[in-house]
A = this chain, B = another copy of it.
Amino acid sequence: MHVVVPFAAIDPKTRLASVLSSAERSTLARAMLADVLTAVVEAGAEPTVVSTAPLDPATLSLEAPVRDAVSVTVDDRPLTEAVNARLPASRDDETTAVVMSDLALATPDTLAALFAHDAAVTIAPGRSGGTNALVVSHPEFRVDYHGTSYLDHCEIARDIDASLETVDSFRLSTDIDEPTDLVEVLIHGDEADRAPACLRGLGFDLETRDGRVGVSRLEETTRE
Protein backbone atom coordinates (compact mmCIF):
# COMPACT_ATOMS: atom_id res chain seq x y z
CA MET A 1 0.00 0.00 0.00
CA HIS A 2 1.12 3.51 -0.79
CA VAL A 3 1.29 5.77 2.27
CA VAL A 4 1.44 9.57 2.25
CA VAL A 5 3.21 11.04 5.29
CA PRO A 6 2.74 14.84 5.36
CA PHE A 7 5.59 16.69 7.08
CA ALA A 8 5.78 20.36 8.09
CA ALA A 9 9.51 20.95 7.65
CA ILE A 10 9.62 24.62 8.68
CA ASP A 11 9.13 25.63 12.33
CA PRO A 12 7.23 22.44 13.25
CA LYS A 13 5.33 21.71 16.47
CA THR A 14 4.77 25.32 17.52
CA ARG A 15 2.42 24.22 20.33
CA LEU A 16 5.49 22.74 22.04
CA ALA A 17 7.27 26.12 22.03
CA SER A 18 6.73 26.57 25.79
CA VAL A 19 9.01 23.61 26.53
CA LEU A 20 11.26 23.22 23.44
CA SER A 21 13.32 25.68 21.38
CA SER A 22 12.74 25.88 17.63
CA ALA A 23 15.81 23.73 16.93
CA GLU A 24 14.69 21.15 19.52
CA ARG A 25 11.19 21.00 18.05
CA SER A 26 12.71 20.37 14.64
CA THR A 27 14.87 17.57 16.06
CA LEU A 28 11.87 15.95 17.79
CA ALA A 29 9.69 16.29 14.66
CA ARG A 30 12.35 14.54 12.57
CA ALA A 31 12.77 11.80 15.18
CA MET A 32 9.01 11.15 15.15
CA LEU A 33 8.98 11.20 11.32
CA ALA A 34 11.79 8.62 11.24
CA ASP A 35 9.91 6.41 13.73
CA VAL A 36 6.69 6.64 11.70
CA LEU A 37 8.48 5.87 8.41
CA THR A 38 10.17 2.85 10.01
CA ALA A 39 6.83 1.54 11.31
CA VAL A 40 5.16 2.06 7.91
CA VAL A 41 7.90 0.12 6.09
CA GLU A 42 7.88 -2.64 8.71
CA ALA A 43 4.09 -2.85 8.21
CA GLY A 44 4.86 -3.72 4.59
CA ALA A 45 3.91 -0.42 2.93
CA GLU A 46 5.77 2.18 0.85
CA PRO A 47 5.85 5.70 2.34
CA THR A 48 6.22 9.01 0.54
CA VAL A 49 7.04 12.00 2.71
CA VAL A 50 5.17 15.03 1.41
CA SER A 51 7.26 17.81 2.88
CA THR A 52 6.51 21.53 2.90
CA ALA A 53 10.21 22.20 2.15
CA PRO A 54 13.20 20.24 0.81
CA LEU A 55 14.19 17.38 3.12
CA ASP A 56 17.22 15.15 2.73
CA PRO A 57 16.22 11.61 3.88
CA ALA A 58 19.89 11.00 4.72
CA THR A 59 19.47 13.41 7.67
CA LEU A 60 16.80 11.18 9.25
CA SER A 61 19.24 8.41 10.29
CA LEU A 62 17.02 5.69 8.83
CA GLU A 63 18.18 2.10 8.75
CA ALA A 64 19.21 0.97 5.25
CA PRO A 65 16.11 -1.09 4.30
CA VAL A 66 13.80 1.72 5.43
CA ARG A 67 15.85 4.44 3.74
CA ASP A 68 15.64 2.56 0.45
CA ALA A 69 11.84 2.33 0.69
CA VAL A 70 11.20 6.00 1.47
CA SER A 71 10.70 8.69 -1.14
CA VAL A 72 10.38 12.42 -0.52
CA THR A 73 8.47 15.00 -2.50
CA VAL A 74 8.06 18.72 -1.80
CA ASP A 75 4.61 20.35 -1.82
CA ASP A 76 4.19 23.70 -0.09
CA ARG A 77 0.42 23.84 -0.43
CA PRO A 78 -1.79 23.64 2.68
CA LEU A 79 -2.18 20.14 4.15
CA THR A 80 -5.68 19.52 2.78
CA GLU A 81 -4.71 20.38 -0.81
CA ALA A 82 -1.42 18.47 -0.69
CA VAL A 83 -3.19 15.33 0.54
CA ASN A 84 -6.15 15.57 -1.84
CA ALA A 85 -3.74 15.77 -4.80
CA ARG A 86 -2.51 12.29 -3.84
CA LEU A 87 -5.75 10.40 -3.13
CA PRO A 88 -7.15 7.92 -5.66
CA ALA A 89 -8.83 9.70 -8.59
CA SER A 90 -10.28 6.63 -10.30
CA ARG A 91 -11.26 3.05 -9.45
CA ASP A 92 -8.01 1.93 -11.07
CA ASP A 93 -5.81 3.95 -8.72
CA GLU A 94 -4.09 2.22 -5.83
CA THR A 95 -5.59 2.47 -2.34
CA THR A 96 -3.76 5.21 -0.49
CA ALA A 97 -3.19 5.76 3.22
CA VAL A 98 -2.37 9.04 4.94
CA VAL A 99 -0.47 8.80 8.22
CA MET A 100 0.53 11.86 10.23
CA SER A 101 4.24 12.21 10.99
CA ASP A 102 3.75 12.86 14.72
CA LEU A 103 2.14 9.51 15.64
CA ALA A 104 5.05 8.66 17.92
CA LEU A 105 3.31 5.57 19.34
CA ALA A 106 2.48 3.98 15.97
CA THR A 107 3.85 0.45 15.66
CA PRO A 108 4.11 -1.88 12.65
CA ASP A 109 1.25 -3.93 14.14
CA THR A 110 -1.14 -1.01 14.64
CA LEU A 111 -0.43 0.28 11.12
CA ALA A 112 -0.72 -3.18 9.52
CA ALA A 113 -4.13 -3.56 11.21
CA LEU A 114 -5.17 -0.16 9.85
CA PHE A 115 -3.99 -0.99 6.32
CA ALA A 116 -5.82 -4.35 6.43
CA HIS A 117 -9.26 -2.71 6.54
CA ASP A 118 -11.07 -2.95 3.23
CA ALA A 119 -13.76 -0.31 3.65
CA ALA A 120 -13.86 2.47 1.05
CA VAL A 121 -12.73 4.84 3.81
CA THR A 122 -11.11 3.83 7.11
CA ILE A 123 -10.31 6.46 9.74
CA ALA A 124 -8.15 6.37 12.86
CA PRO A 125 -9.41 9.34 14.87
CA GLY A 126 -7.15 11.49 16.99
CA ARG A 127 -8.12 13.17 20.21
CA SER A 128 -10.31 16.26 19.96
CA GLY A 129 -11.87 15.16 16.69
CA GLY A 130 -8.73 15.01 14.56
CA THR A 131 -7.95 12.51 11.81
CA ASN A 132 -4.60 10.92 12.57
CA ALA A 133 -4.58 8.30 9.84
CA LEU A 134 -6.89 7.15 7.09
CA VAL A 135 -7.05 4.67 4.24
CA VAL A 136 -8.92 5.62 1.08
CA SER A 137 -9.90 3.50 -1.90
CA HIS A 138 -12.99 5.47 -3.01
CA PRO A 139 -12.11 7.82 -5.90
CA GLU A 140 -14.52 10.57 -4.81
CA PHE A 141 -13.40 10.89 -1.19
CA ARG A 142 -11.50 14.08 -0.36
CA VAL A 143 -10.14 15.29 2.98
CA ASP A 144 -10.77 18.52 4.87
CA TYR A 145 -8.45 18.87 7.85
CA HIS A 146 -9.99 22.05 9.22
CA GLY A 147 -12.09 21.91 12.40
CA THR A 148 -13.52 18.60 13.64
CA SER A 149 -12.05 16.68 10.74
CA TYR A 150 -13.08 13.25 12.05
CA LEU A 151 -16.78 14.17 11.97
CA ASP A 152 -16.34 15.99 8.64
CA HIS A 153 -14.65 12.95 7.10
CA CYS A 154 -17.43 10.66 8.33
CA GLU A 155 -19.97 13.00 6.72
CA ILE A 156 -18.03 13.22 3.45
CA ALA A 157 -17.90 9.40 3.29
CA ARG A 158 -21.66 9.18 3.90
CA ASP A 159 -22.34 11.83 1.24
CA ILE A 160 -20.60 9.74 -1.43
CA ASP A 161 -22.10 6.44 -0.16
CA ALA A 162 -18.64 5.12 0.73
CA SER A 163 -18.38 2.31 3.29
CA LEU A 164 -16.74 3.67 6.44
CA GLU A 165 -14.84 2.08 9.30
CA THR A 166 -13.38 3.68 12.40
CA VAL A 167 -10.28 2.13 13.95
CA ASP A 168 -10.19 2.00 17.77
CA SER A 169 -6.50 2.50 18.63
CA PHE A 170 -5.01 4.42 21.54
CA ARG A 171 -1.63 4.42 19.77
CA LEU A 172 -2.98 5.89 16.55
CA SER A 173 -5.16 8.38 18.48
CA THR A 174 -2.07 9.89 20.10
CA ASP A 175 -0.49 12.68 18.08
CA ILE A 176 2.21 14.68 19.79
CA ASP A 177 1.15 18.32 19.75
CA GLU A 178 1.25 19.72 23.25
CA PRO A 179 3.53 19.43 26.29
CA THR A 180 1.15 17.00 28.05
CA ASP A 181 1.47 14.63 25.06
CA LEU A 182 5.18 14.12 25.82
CA VAL A 183 4.10 11.96 28.78
CA GLU A 184 2.72 9.37 26.35
CA VAL A 185 6.02 9.17 24.42
CA LEU A 186 7.97 8.52 27.61
CA ILE A 187 5.46 5.94 28.92
CA HIS A 188 4.52 4.01 25.77
CA GLY A 189 7.34 4.73 23.30
CA ASP A 190 9.51 1.76 22.33
CA GLU A 191 12.97 2.01 23.86
CA ALA A 192 14.47 1.42 20.40
CA ASP A 193 12.59 4.38 18.89
CA ARG A 194 14.11 7.77 18.23
CA ALA A 195 11.46 10.05 19.78
CA PRO A 196 11.72 8.71 23.37
CA ALA A 197 15.54 8.77 23.09
CA CYS A 198 15.37 12.33 21.73
CA LEU A 199 13.22 13.51 24.67
CA ARG A 200 15.41 11.79 27.26
CA GLY A 201 18.47 13.28 25.57
CA LEU A 202 16.90 16.71 25.98
CA GLY A 203 16.54 16.06 29.72
CA PHE A 204 12.87 15.12 29.90
CA ASP A 205 11.61 12.55 32.38
CA LEU A 206 8.32 11.51 33.97
CA GLU A 207 7.32 13.29 37.14
CA THR A 208 4.44 12.55 39.49
CA ARG A 209 3.11 15.50 41.47
CA ASP A 210 -0.13 15.59 43.48
CA GLY A 211 -1.03 12.18 42.07
CA ARG A 212 -0.86 13.37 38.44
CA VAL A 213 1.80 12.43 35.94
CA GLY A 214 3.64 15.03 33.86
CA VAL A 215 7.09 15.62 32.45
CA SER A 216 9.93 17.48 34.06
CA ARG A 217 13.08 18.73 32.39
CA LEU A 218 16.57 19.02 33.82
CA GLU A 219 17.80 22.62 33.90
CA GLU A 220 19.98 23.63 30.95
CA THR A 221 22.91 24.19 33.29
CA THR A 222 22.94 20.61 34.50
CA ARG A 223 22.95 19.17 30.97
CA GLU A 224 25.84 19.11 28.57
Interface residues of A in 144-185 (CB under 8 A from B): 146-148, 150-151, 168-173, 180, 183-184
Identity of the chain B residue whose Cβ is nearest the Cβ of A166 in the assembled complex = B188
Q: Does A129 contact B (CB under 8 A)?
A: yes
Q: What 0/1 readout, one digit per residue, does chain A (177-207) give for beta carbons within 8 Å of chain B? A: 0001001100110000000000000000010
Contact B180 A148 (CB under 8 A): no
A208 CA to B150 CA in the complex, in Å?
13
Check A128 for interface membership: any CB of B closer than 8 A.
Answer: yes
Contact at B125–A188, with CB atoms within 8 Å? yes
Measured between alpha carbons, how far is A2 from B187 in the docked complex, in Å?
Answer: 29
Q: In whole angstroms, how far apart are the Cα atoms of A110 and B147 in the complex?
A: 27
Complexed CA–CA distance, A187 and B188 (Å): 25
With A and B bound together, what is the CA distance between A125 and B170 in angstroms? 9
Check if B170 sits within 8 Å of A129, measured CB to CB: no
Assuming A125-B170, A128-B183, A129-B187, what are 10 further A-B pairs, CB within 8 angstroms? A110-B168, A125-B188, A127-B183, A128-B180, A129-B213, A150-B187, A168-B170, A169-B170, A170-B172, A170-B173
Q: Which residue of chain B has its CB nearest to the CB of A154?
A: B187
Chain B residues, Cβ within 8 Å of A188: 125
Say if the beta carbon of A212 comes within 8 Å of chain B. Answer: yes
Name A's interface SS.
helix
The listed residue with most B CB atoms (<10 A of its CB), out of A148, A170, A171, A188, is A170
* A211 interface residue (CB < 8 Å to B): yes
User: CA of A128 to CA of B185 in the docked complex: distance in angstroms?
Assistant: 10
- Tell me, in angstroms, the Cα distance from A168 to B213 when the chains sit together: 20
- Which of B128, B170, B211, B214 touches A213 (beta carbons < 8 Å)? B128
Q: A151 — which chain B residues lie within 8 A by C-beta? A: 187
Choose from B129, B168, B184 the contact partner of A171 (Cβ within 8 Å): B168
Q: Which residue of B lies closest to A129 (CB)?
A: B213
Q: State in angstroms the CA–CA spacing of A194 and B141 once bound together.
A: 33
Q: Mark A107-150, 1 if CB is under 8 A from B, else 0.
A: 00010000000000000010111000000000000000011101
A109's closest neighbor in chain B, by CB?
B168
**A208-B170 Cα distance, complex, nearest whole Å:** 23
